[in-house]
Amino acid sequence: MLAFEAPATGMAQSSEPVDQSNLDDSNQQAKDISPKSKPKIKKYPNALVWNNAETASIDFPESKFIGEYRKGSKTLQVTTTERRFYISVYEGGLPGDGWDGTSIAHDWFESDGIEDYLTGWTKVDRSAGVVGKKPPADAIVLFDGMNTEAWANAKIADGYMKAGAKTKQHFQDFQLYFEFLVPLKPELPISHPHRGNSGVFALGAYEIQIADTFGLDPDPKAWRDRPMLKPVDTWCGSVYGIRAAEINMCLPPLTWQSMEIEFKAARFKDGEKVTPAVISLLHNGVKVLDNVSLPRGTGGGPAGPRPEVAEGPILLQNHGNPNLFRNIWITPLRSPPQ
């Protein structure tokens, strides 16, 4: 297990445009469980944001209640939004760790009532068990906390990679492992597109979404009294706008998480695609995408989907949030003879 220091960066202000592709390019699965009309997205140009748990605990003391809890056979996920607390209640265990798949109950609490509510519950931290994977001998270490030679536009903060870098080397088929931290933005609605919005692009064309969707429930019944601002196929762990994750494995903001992508690029002959790209994903150790065929590149808005390519770089998307990355390595996969 690799050991890492907590990030030392503190509170920042974010100013970010509304990403219309979060609303325009949903796949059928997301359409089935999303609102029928697109909700209006309010801008929060001066929203408070933290990417350091220690600083957040001082500036925003209520952050100490965000997290996962157990009591007997019941578990909770507690997150903060619009200065209130949103609680998701699971039977049997947490998502990916014992939850029996039954309907998730939900509740709201004001800040002055959350501490009493959580009395008798034990807070758990699953982060330590899902990070720290070491690269195999044949892996290419892309970022170890110091060396940025593999990257263009790399920016480092206290040993962590900021969003916005892309690899100089191009890849085709590979296994990619990385760890990431999503910031805390407590003022935004729970499904707002800009709660930690980022992503990792395979070949620069296919985005695995990163965002703070901790504690969110894809069941449409959970959204009867509020709009779903971010369609499910744009939640954390999804192939953006193409396929939703099979289970929401997002951990709380300000905790380190992991993703492991297995990717096989599309194949082309005479300029025409003959086989689609295929992707699988482990999010915090749980398979949330399994051999998903990709019909196109990801993206939306006026420009439309990104063009598909046979090879390309790994891109860490900068979408105006102070997301952090660490322990990034890739293993190119040998293609079988054609």
In a domain, 156, yes or no: yes
In a domain, 320, yes or no: yes
One domain for residues 159 and 265 = yes
Range of the domain at 90: 11-17+44-124
Cβ neighbours for 58, distance < 8 A, ≥ 6 positions apart: none
One domain for residues 151 and 243 = yes
One domain for residues 141 and 180 = yes
One domain for residues 150 and 116 = no
In a domain, 188, yes or no: yes
Write the CA distances from 70 to 89, 93, 127, 306, integer angstroms: 10, 8, 15, 43
pTM (2 d.p.): 0.88
In a domain, 191, yes or no: yes
**Listed residues 95, 124, 153: the one ending a domain:** 124
One domain for residues 183 and 83 = no
* pLDDT, one tens digit for every residue, the chain (338 residues): 333 233 333 434 333 333 333 333 334 434 444 445 678 889 898 999 999 999 999 999 999 999 999 999 999 999 999 989 999 999 999 999 999 999 999 999 999 999 999 999 999 999 999 999 999 999 999 999 999 999 999 999 999 999 999 999 999 999 999 999 999 999 999 999 999 999 999 999 999 999 999 999 999 999 999 999 999 999 999 999 999 999 999 999 999 999 999 999 999 999 999 999 999 999 999 999 999 999 999 986 677 799 999 999 999 999 999 999 999 999 999 865 55
**Listed residues 124, 148, 183: the one ending a domain:** 124
Question: Rounded to whole angstroms, how far apart are CA atoms 38 and 270?
Answer: 40
One domain for residues 136 and 159 = yes
One domain for residues 119 and 166 = no
Number of domain units in the chain: 2
The full length of the chain comes to 338
Cβ neighbours for 109, distance < 8 A, ≥ 6 positions apart: 84, 85, 87, 117
In a domain, 173, yes or no: yes
**Listed residues 124, 149, 180: the one ending a domain:** 124
In a domain, 138, yes or no: yes
